[in-house]
Amino acid sequence: MLEADDGRLFGGCNIENASYGLTICAERVAIFKAISEGCRAFTRLVIVADTQHPTPPCGACRQIIWEFCGDIPIIVANLSGVVAEYRTADLLPHPFDRETIT
């Protein structure tokens, strides 16, 4: 669940594909949904997965989170209630962005 700075919430789900490489993670779905609705500023992202341990976002999602959300809190949890919190910069300490290419 992605929270916009105006309080709106955007959910996402994994959209899986037989070729795996074309699968889109829930994090990117939520971000793209919010962007398509005109949101450009975000306050936090919450990720819940049916896993033994809280699962942080994959590398592709980390890059998209950095580019579209910046250094926001990312809360990860599992269905057993185990929770961890990171910031985008913790998960992607050397991001590739506009500053990198200028």
Contact 50, 32 (CB under 8 A): no
Q: Which of 3, 27, 37, 85 is catalytic?
A: 27
- Hey, what are 84's tokens? 């961890």
SS3 (DSSP) at 49: strand
> In the annotation, is 85 catalytic?
no
Alpha-carbon span 69 to 2, nearest angstrom: 10
Neighbours of 46 (CB within 10 A): 18
- Residues with active-site annotation: 27
